[in-house]
Amino acid sequence: MRHIISILIENEAGALSRVAGLFSARGYNIESLTVAPTEDPSLSRMTILTWGSDDVLEQITKQLNKLVDIVKVVDLSEAAHVERELMLIKVRATGKDREEMKRMADIFRGRIVDVTESTYVIELTGASSKLDSFIAALDGGLILETVRTGVCGIGRGDRILKV
């Protein structure tokens, strides 16, 4: 099962390595990991996309909670939530492909944020699956470079992760 784990962690040197080290030492998967300070600069919010059975997920959350720097851990995917990922993708945009790329970006509600004579950089935000679909919809030979932020997510409604 795919799970999105959200973590509030003390914004201290080495905090990220403690989390990453835990995952590698115990053989858990990290599909993506994003981290940045919150509105309270003493805290960072980390989002980890991982895969595992219910038993493994139970262990992951327990082991994370054991880390002294971690303030809170929730499995976002347990209930209603919003998840987003940002992608910047550089494509070849020449000849007839130039118009096609513009059209594809529009269909996926992407924005072209950099233009040269032969390339576009398209910015696309959405669920990871939408980003995957966009890549699949393009001619692979025209993709020059992609960069994705990894998933970040937030609970819907009254579900709030705060100290």
DSSP SS3 for 106? helix
Q: What backbone torsions phi and psi does residue 82 show, to the nearest 5 degrees?
A: -110, 135
Return the number of the residue (21 or 78) whose C-beta is nearest another protein: 21
Residues 49-68, interacting with another protein (CB under 8 A) = 55, 58-59, 62-63, 65-66, 68
Return the number of the residue (29 or 65) whose C-beta is nearest another protein: 65
As to burial, measured by CB atoms within 10 angstroms (0-12 exposed, 13-18 middle, 19+ buried), residue 49 is buried
Number of residues lying near another protein (CB under 8 A): 20
Site for another protein contains 160 (CB under 8 A): no
Site for another protein contains 11 (CB under 8 A): no
- Quick one: which of 11, 16, 18, 38 contacts another protein (CB under 8 A)? 18
Nearest approach, Cβ of 125 to another protein (angstroms)? Answer: 31
Distance linking the first and last C-alpha atoms of the chain? 28
Distance CA 43, CA 35 (A): 10
Distance CA 61, CA 55 (A): 10
Return the number of the residue (66 or 111) whose C-beta is nearest another protein: 66
Tokens of 93: 């945009």
Site for another protein contains 71 (CB under 8 A): yes
Tokens of 60: 């992951």
Contact assessment for residue 51 and residue 32, using Cβ atoms and an 8 Å cutoff: no
Return the number of the residue (55 or 117) whose C-beta is nearest another protein: 55
Q: What backbone torsions phi and psi does residue 117 show, to the nearest 5 degrees?
A: -60, -30
Nearest approach, Cβ of 19 to another protein (angstroms)? Answer: 11
Q: Which residues bind another protein (CB under 8 A)?
A: 9-10, 13-14, 17-18, 21, 25, 55, 58-59, 62-63, 65-66, 68-71, 163
